[in-house]
Chain A
């Protein structure tokens, strides 16, 4: 028997969906597995474009064409990661919101999104003018570096959550 919820996070955790995931012996690890597969796909495909932006990988390849090749995989995997991540969240909502690493992960995800948006609203608008130059605009390079750092932090915070989930729960 679950107690009466006293806040929104408890309402989510004690919802039918939250209880179903939490009480199942196989749902949580299965969702975790799909979440990891989706996340490595997102990070791996984003890194291909980021490394090109900072001038390390895929030299000689047009970055707009690289992005065209990788984006369907990146977005598909991101949607899958978001769905599975949300389902993992509802099963232990009160523990997750009390965990600073979870909050850092959410902030870092938002920053990664803002960074991508900024790139697309600025340097990317003229990508066909500079993508065959030997060096890329500073804004594009900075966006590439920031993206790599943000996604590295997402992985770090994601792993840190797993090791500290019970630490911050009273």
Chain B
């Protein structure tokens, strides 16, 4: 696995991304972020809190889908938590983009970073599909189909893998 990630990183170094990352490291925003000690910790806190919002939303909807949390109807549960999910995603993306400036080379020339980006896009697309699937379910009462249950489980696993990638970016061979 380590060799595979290292080979991807080596390949990334041969692409125009290498020059772009080096150029980006001289941008005024990058210089401001790297010279202000608390900038990255602050962005990480926003990022973590936004992930807490999105992950808790996915967990609560999933609990309802599986009948493990049942005081509200599926319609109410879905309405309440998908709103939190969308706002959390906005903050995840914004804080994530700004964190990129903290170490442009380590991030952009990092195999795990790009795996995480692909998974984040997948999570957003899956969440939209999940929300649409829930809205269809709402019209037929509280009977939840197997596809919706599978998507909710998939989203939980996906978020765990995204968080894993987020932590392992710092440990990837660059």
Task: Give me the interface of A with B, judged by CB distance under 8 Å.
Answer: 29, 32-33, 36-37, 39-41, 43-45, 47-48, 57-58, 61-62, 65-66, 68-70, 72-73, 152, 155-156, 159-160, 162-163
Contacts and interface: CB of A to CB of B under 8 A. Distances in A.
Which of A48, A61, A70, A162 counts the most chain B CB atoms within 10 A? A48
A94 B132 CA distance: 51
B71 A44 contact: no
Interface residues of B, number: 32
**Chain B residues touching A, majority SS:** helix
Interface of B: 37, 40-41, 44-45, 48-49, 51-53, 55-57, 59-60, 63, 68-72, 76, 80, 84, 160, 163-164, 166-168, 170-171
A23 B126 CA distance: 39
A32 B56 contact: no
B55 A41 contact: yes
A32 B76 CA distance: 35
B116 to A, nearest CB: 12
B48 A36 contact: yes
Contact of A40 (B51, B71, B76, B170): B51
Given A41-B55, A41-B56, A58 B80 contact: yes
A33 B51 CA distance: 13
